[in-house]
Amino acid sequence: MGNKNKTISFRVSEDKFETLREIAEERDISLSAVFRDYVDTLVAHDGQVKVAPEHELEAAAEESSTESFPPKVEVPKSFVREHERLELEAEHLREQLEEHKRYVTKLRQQLDQMDQDEVIHLEDLDDEEEDDAASYRIGSFEEL
């Protein structure tokens, strides 16, 4: 069974509808996207969603300012240097790969431009050697 989308329909007052439309315009999203975001949030938190004014959220954020987002982690300089070295090495390897690809492309183009008469097939060389060996008989003088 596939994941089928379902339609939800309900009525709201005209004032609330206009307020929702303004929210959607502020966020530069569709009115449907506002509801989908709300439903996603509601489902993700098992229906435990608290609606709070922005000033309360800002106050709560200031109280917990000891841990900022994104979290900051100190790493040793050796780690940073190793990371930079690996980035440079990866860049160098990418450049070498591009150079190799250009060389292979050049060789293929040269091969395509070659006249078929200029190409010597190894199988043909093997056949010639077998013909030459058959024309010369090696034996002792007594057999002759």
Q: Which residue has the tokens 């938190």?
A: 45
Contact 34, 24 (CB under 8 A): yes
Q: Which two tokens stand for residue 28?
A: 């530069």
Give the residue, 17 or 57, on which the prediction is more confident.
17
Per-residue pLDDT, 66: 57
Give the residue, 126 or 141, on which the prediction is more confident.
126
C-alpha 91/C-alpha 97 separation (Å) is 10
Overall average pLDDT of the 118-136 stretch: 66
Confidence bin at 86 (pLDDT 50/70/90): very high
Which of helix, strand or coil describes residue 65? coil
pTM: 0.34
